[in-house]
Structure 1
Amino acid sequence: MATATNNKDTYKATAVFLVVMGILYLLDKLIHFSSAGLPWVMQKDTMLLYASVIFLWFKRDKSVGIILAGIWLIQNIGLVISLLGQMSAYLLPAALLIIGILLYFLSTR
């Protein structure tokens, strides 16, 4: 029963992602995000962020959304560090340590 629910969640999240991408592509053809000063809307890494948010929102099992968000963070580490500014010197290593420790303890349970 849990597998059927999991598949249903996956199908729903995938369907929402495809609808959002279709709408964004259609809007891009109509208003051209690049010429409107919004070229980041249709970048490949931004689409990965859209997918991660949608999977986190619609799927009960958050692992796919977390993995996609992690991949996005790795791809955009420069952006994250520049947004954090001076705090990134301490915050990023601390976050990596905390996440690593949590994952280790969760995997040993």
Structure 2
Amino acid sequence: MAVNHKDTYKASAIFLIVMGILYLVDKLIGFASYGLPWVMQKDNLLLYAAVIFLWFKTDKSVGIVLAGIWLILNIGLVIALLGQMSAYLLPAALLIIGVILYLVSTR
């Protein structure tokens, strides 16, 4: 199988461009002064990378891993957003993901 790294380079380039724009805008106007301090939080930068890699890279594994790391780092936020439903959705999601991974690994 031929390996084509063009989409990796493209996703990396777009991520660097987005980060450069965000840092420049933050230095010029400051997101915190507009009530948006979360835009430049370190863990959200990981989320931006995950979204960009999922969008622009053919192989979605890097984006999925980055999104998973972001979810682990922000599990409190996810549970708070889900509210009472988190008692049922989180275990169900873990079971479904586990079954899917198991089925994929046994092919």
TM-score bracket for the superposition, by shorter chain length:
over 0.9
* Alignment deviations for residues 76-98 of structure 1 (CA, whole Å, 9 cap, x no partner): 00000000000000000000000
Could you tell me which residue of structure 1 aligns to residue 72 of structure 2? 74
Give the Cα–Cα distance (whole angstroms) in 2 for the partners of residues 105 and 11 of structure 1. 31
Could you tell me which residue of structure 2 aligns to residue 63 of structure 1? 61
The percentage of aligned residue pairs carrying the same residue is 80
Could you tell me which residue of structure 1 aligns to residue 19 of structure 2? 21
Shift of 1:36: 1.3
Aligned amino acid, residue 2 of structure 1 = A
Shift of 1:67: 0.5
Could you tell me which residue of structure 1 aligns to residue 49 of structure 2? 51
TM value normalised by structure 1:
0.96
Give the Cα–Cα distance (whole angstroms) in 2 for the partners of residues 108 and 85 of structure 1. 35
TM value normalised by structure 2:
0.97
What 5-or-longer segments of structure 1 have no aligned partner? none
Could you tell me which residue of structure 2 aligns to residue 33 of structure 1? 31
Give the Cα–Cα distance (whole angstroms) in 2 for the partners of residues 2 and 36 of structure 1. 48
Equivalent pairs counted in the alignment come to: 107
